[in-house]
């Protein structure tokens, strides 16, 4: 469908909505954390171009852009979903149930655990 030096884009064979595109880097990496920092800007620049094209080309109201890392990742190669959206399309939020923190302290403890390992 489309490509650039760093990535390729093609239609998903089981789309959420017609026009659902997958963008994958040309270099083999399994998850987003595996993508070298030097490839982030070119890759996501292309994802941005595809998202703009999906919205404009399909007269969509917007797009839903998502990546699965390991869990629910049906193919062991990084890929980004670009799904066309329209108001009233029936897609509501995320595809899984939502939860709540028991308290602000619990939320803070999760944030601190994540921040502690960021470099």
Domain ranges of the chain: 2-94
- pLDDT (tens digit per residue) in 5-62: 999 999 999 899 999 999 999 999 999 999 999 999 999 999 999 999 999 999 999 9
| Whether residue 28 lies in the annotated active site | no
Residue with tokens 């960021």: 118
Residue with the two structure tokens 């941005």: 48
Q: What does the alpha-carbon distance between residue 16 and residue 85 come to, in Å, rounded to a whole number?
A: 10
Q: Which of 20, 28, 77, 79 is catalytic?
A: 79
- The CATH architecture to which 2-94 belongs is 2-Layer Sandwich (3.30)
Class of residue 84 by CB neighbours under 10 A (exposed 0-12, middle 13-18, buried 19+) = buried
Q: Please tell me the pTM assigned to this model.
A: 0.84
């Amino acid at each position: 469908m489309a490509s650039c030096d760093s990535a390729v884009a093609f239609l998903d064979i089981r789309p959420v909505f017609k026009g659902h595109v997958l963008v994958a880097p040309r270099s083999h990496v399994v998850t987003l954390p595996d993508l070298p920092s030097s490839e982030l800007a070119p890759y996501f620049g292309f994802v941005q171009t595809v998202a703009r094209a999906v919205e404009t080309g399909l007269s969509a109201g917007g797009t839903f852009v998502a990546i699965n890392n390991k869990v629910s990742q049906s193919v062991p190669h990084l890929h980004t979903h670009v799904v066309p959206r329209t108001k009233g399309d029936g897609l509501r939020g995320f595809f899984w149930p939502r939860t709540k923190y028991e308290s602000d302290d619990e939320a803070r403890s999760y944030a601190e655990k994540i921040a502690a390992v960021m470099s």
